[in-house]
Amino acid sequence: MTPPSIPTMHALRRHVERNHERATQRLRHLVDHDTPSFDPDATSGAITLLLEWCEAQGATVDTIDAGGAHADHLRARWPATHEPRNHLLILTHVDTVWPGDETTRRPFQHDGDRATGPGIFDMKTGIIQSLEAIDAVLALQPLEHTTLTLLVTTDEEVGSPTSRDLIEREASTADVVLVTEPSSDAALKSSRKGVGMYRVSAHGRSAHAGLEPQAGRSAILEIARQIPLIDALNDYAVGTTVTVGMIAGGSARNVVAERCHVDVDVRTMTPEETRRVHEALLNLRAMGEDVTLDVEGGTNRPVMERTEVTAQLYARAQAIADHLDEPLSETAVGGGSDGNFTAALGRPTLDGLGAVGGGAHALHEWIDVRRSLIQRTSLLAGLLLDLSATPLQESA
């Protein structure tokens, strides 16, 4: 296996550079569409925009119903021109963590090499990079035996409740999954922690705090006793974090609390740790008399482990990056993505191929425009070309 030659990589980059103005304008358009996960009306505007762009680039596009709570998901396909032997899947999401009027306060702004705006880093730039990379590859040569699929989902930021099936279905036929989520300090993400979400609820008995508090059974007290047990499940040495991130309970100062609950975030690096924490949480028992304790929840995103095949995939990206004089590294991160689903199915998955910048989910979110939209777009294009010329399993 040899990566695309230096002249080929330079041809791809020239194509990307020629279309840089278009890419920047597309990014402005997309960022200036507010796309909260739970606002189907607002978000479908962005899906319509993307649908038009994909069709203009020759894709066959479908929208997939997300059940009303979210805008439809989008699937764009560029079929192989001859007998298909290889399927490359690019995974993206258009929803952001920001509310529906965020862009009126903070519209897209472009100043020198820096651009800002809600969701620009996580991960609207990654969608534009995907479109431009596909355009560059297909302008260079038709893909005879490779089908390209781009998925744009609308509920990733809330755990992908309606897109997970679609993602897993597409991934099941994919030879490689490329995720254009943002990079981590410019590094690709070759492993991600698994993510679990739990709610621990106590149900006691209310009573007047002045007249007969002894008749009450405090749910707040029960939860307070449970928290140190939950916290004790942390094991930083093996990368396991268990965080009580939310607490809510009681009804008034002068009432013994009938109800109280905590929401718990769990991150693990191995399936064994996922299981250990899961079992420990489900085994929590009420300590107070006449109090019941309920634990709901489980794994939202399984661990994305760095496998032998991930290492091969990363090595291919590295060789292409070298041809572009683009520094590249890889890292493990604690945040989950839809790449966790595809990796858990055993599909070779490389994540973090999107924007170079920072401040995901934060007000100072930004991207490096040229490095993201030119260098990393060219890298993605090179990787698509490379994987279509030499499928991963043949390169082993």
Shortest Cβ distance from residue 179 to Zn ion (Å)?
9
Shortest Cβ distance from residue 335 to Zn ion (Å)?
8
- CB-wise, 155 or 181, nearer to Zn ion? 181
280 HSE (CA, 13 A, CB side): 19
- CB-wise, 123 or 262, nearer to Zn ion? 123
Shortest Cβ distance from residue 92 to Zn ion (Å)?
8
Shortest Cβ distance from residue 122 to Zn ion (Å)?
4
- CB-wise, 91 or 369, nearer to Zn ion? 91
Shortest Cβ distance from residue 121 to Zn ion (Å)?
9
Which residues lie near Zn ion (CB under 5 A)?
122-123, 181
Q: With contact defined as beta carbons under 8 Å apart, do 131 and 57 qualify?
A: yes
- CB-wise, 123 or 356, nearer to Zn ion? 123
- Reduced 3-state DSSP string for the chain: CCCCCHHHHHHHHHHHHHCHHHHHHHHHHHHCCCCECCCHHHHHHHHHHHHHHHHHCCCEEEEECCCCCCCCEEEEEECCCCCCCEEEEEEEECCECCCCCHHHHCCCEEECCEEECCCHHHHHHHHHHHHHHHHHHHHHCCCCCEEEEEEEECCHHHCCCCCHHHHHHHHHCCCEEEECCCCECCEEEEEECEEEEEEEEEECECEECCCCHHHCECHHHHHHHHHHHHHCCCEHHHCEEEEEEEEEECCCCCEECCEEEEEEEEEECCHHHHHHHHHHHHCCCCCCCCCEEEEEEEEEECCECCCHHHHHHHHHHHHHHHHCCCCCCEEEECCCCCHHHHHHCCCCEEECCCCCEECCCCCCCEEEHHHHHHHHHHHHHHHHHHHHHCCHHHHC
Shortest Cβ distance from residue 97 to Zn ion (Å)?
9
Shortest Cβ distance from residue 250 to Zn ion (Å)?
35
Longest dimension (CA), the chain: 85
- CB-wise, 170 or 365, nearer to Zn ion? 365
Q: With contact defined as beta carbons under 8 Å apart, do 330 and 314 qualify?
A: yes
- CB-wise, 19 or 300, nearer to Zn ion? 300
Shortest Cβ distance from residue 300 to Zn ion (Å)?
14
Q: What is the CA angle 24-29-30, rounded to 5? A: 95
- CB-wise, 123 or 166, nearer to Zn ion? 123
Shortest Cβ distance from residue 181 to Zn ion (Å)?
5
- CB-wise, 19 or 160, nearer to Zn ion? 160
Phi, psi of 325, deg, nearest 5: 55, 35
- CB-wise, 187 or 284, nearer to Zn ion? 187
